[in-house]
Amino acid sequence: MEILTHEIYFKTNGFTEIHNITPQIQEILTESGLADGQVLVSAVGSTGGMTTLEYEPGLVNHDVKEVLDKIAPYGKDYVHNRTWGDDNGSAHLRSALVGTSYVCPFVKGHLLLGTWQQIVFIEFDTRPRDRRVIVQLMGMVSRNT
Amino acid sequence: MEILTHEIYFKTNGFTEIHNITPQIQEILTESGLADGQVLVSAVGSTGGMTTLEYEPGLVNHDVKEVLDKIAPYGKDYVHNRTWGDDNGSAHLRSALVGTSYVCPFVKGHLLLGTWQQIVFIEFDTRPRDRRVIVQLMGMVSRNT
Amino acid sequence: MEILTHEIYFKTNGFTEIHNITPQIQEILTESGLADGQVLVSAVGSTGGMTTLEYEPGLVNHDVKEVLDKIAPYGKDYVHNRTWGDDNGSAHLRSALVGTSYVCPFVKGHLLLGTWQQIVFIEFDTRPRDRRVIVQLMGMVSRNT
């Protein structure tokens, strides 16, 4: 049984910009040599989101933004904004609703995702950010090799 | 320490149909002989949801549907639908919001859930599906037996 | 590799009252002596929520409540309420949407959270409750000490 903790870093532009981080996670998994287990993907910070989504332009560039704009619009006068002279209350609310961590099982070194299912980080903040995401593997090498 | 990966299969009818999969998960746990640990329950695909809910008819057949119809209505003209000649944009959005994986702790072979708390898979898609859900146990046999 | 299951208990007042439980979780982690791994935090019951949030008064006392009041208002005539002579249908719906479990990675005995990111339990129910939250650690002592 192994626990391996990695980090990935990337730059974001804000306002519910969606990043497909599946390739980086699969690469870390492949290089680990682990066969069976699970990967915990966790965003550091309170204005990002972690979930799965079909990563296609319609959902990514329009539909997800539209739904969340209805739930917690960006321009609104949140008490958070008034208290801290900030403008990202909406980002905090979206993050709390969507969640910041996701756990994916893997078998024989492959993530158990659907064909149209990708692991995505969503940047809810209102400015460009340097993001850090924890990718922690827990698993074992195959007993049959 | 053991990692055991199982799968469960079932048929769904779509449109936010809610399935209580707690009995199957408890059965897999019981048969594993594991005492303490956790079970990761993960839906394969981008139009399903995994969460916990009191599995009773009012919530299951009406209230959950009503809330999600307000957030992401089924009939709407999503860009996803226009792009792919599809009609399930709402299902993708609901899945991303609710999430597709859930982790439950167990002790002495029993899931640590409330009396009125069940693990449910929600079929958000707009047609019947054959569903696959991963049930991955991580844990150990009791050290006191 | 160790699995350690703890429980924390606290009293709540209801109506989307937000509790910062990060200090208790960090304390359990510190006392465990584990270095690298993850902690599963899971609420027992179907009317609570578990997520991360910047624990500051604007979000905690106002903004989160406002957003969820729009999605699933407390006073509404849910079928759940009519069926069971109950008044907490809204609480069940909020719980299913926000989720009841959260997994946080840790390294060298420290939770990998952002500076403004706290682990919170949200009491969605409509009355004071005695709450039980499972805190399950999975990890190993450092190999370099």
pLDDT at C10 exceeding the cut of 90: yes
Nearest chain B CA: its distance from C83 CA (Å): 7
Q: Tell me the average pLDDT across A81-101.
A: 96
The two tokens of residue B62 are 């009406």
Confidence band, pLDDT 50/70/90 cuts, at residue C42: very high
Confidence band, pLDDT 50/70/90 cuts, at residue B109: very high
Beta strand ranges found along A2-100 (DSSP E): 2-12, 17-20, 36-43, 48-53
Tell me what pLDDT residue C80 has. 97
The two tokens of residue B9 are 């299969």
pLDDT at C91 exceeding the cut of 90: yes
Our separate counts of H helices and E strands in chain C read: 5, 8
Identify the structural domains of chain A with CATH numbers, from first to last.
Answer: 18-138 (2.60.120.460)
Q: Which residue of A has its CA nearest to C2?
A: A1
Nearest to B122 by CA among C45, C99, C41, C47: C99
Tell me what pLDDT residue B142 has. 76
Answer for the pair C143, C41: CB distance below 8 angstroms, yes or no.
no
Average pLDDT, chain C: 96
Identify the DSSP state of A78. Answer: -
Q: How far apart, in whole angstroms, are the C-alpha atoms of residue B71 and residue B64?
A: 11
pLDDT at B145 exceeding the cut of 70: no
Average pLDDT, chain A: 96
Where do the H-state alpha helices sit in chain C?
A: 22-32, 57-58, 64-71, 79-84, 89-98
Model pLDDT for residues B35-81, shown as the tens digit of each residue: 999 999 999 999 999 999 999 999 999 999 999 999 999 999 999 99
pTM of the model: 0.97
pLDDT at C57 exceeding the cut of 70: yes
Q: Tell me the average pLDDT across A30-45.
A: 98
Contact A71 B71 (CB under 8 A): yes
pLDDT at B115 exceeding the cut of 50: yes
Tell me what pLDDT residue B139 has. 97
Confidence band, pLDDT 50/70/90 cuts, at residue A86: very high
Tell me what pLDDT residue A88 has. 97
Q: How far apart, in whole angstroms, are the C-alpha atoms of residue C133 and residue C9?
A: 7
pLDDT at A90 exceeding the cut of 90: yes
Model pLDDT for residues B5-28, shown as the tens digit of each residue: 999 999 999 999 999 999 999 999
Q: How far apart, in whole angstroms, are the C-alpha atoms of residue B92 and residue B86?
A: 11
Contact A98 B96 (CB under 8 A): yes
Number of C-beta neighbours around residue C37 at 10 A: 25
Identify the DSSP state of B134. Answer: E
Mutation for testing the B interface, residue in C52, C84, C101, C140 having most B CBs under 10 Å: C101
Nearest to B44 by CA among B125, B139, B138, B142: B125
Tell me what pLDDT residue A142 has. 76
- For chains A and C, count residue pairs whose Cβ atoms are closer than 8 Å: 101
pLDDT at C144 exceeding the cut of 60: no
pLDDT at C145 exceeding the cut of 50: no
Contact B40 A36 (CB under 8 A): no
Q: Which residue of B has its CA nearest to A141?
A: B3
Nearest to B70 by CA among A96, C89, C71: C71
pLDDT at C143 exceeding the cut of 70: no
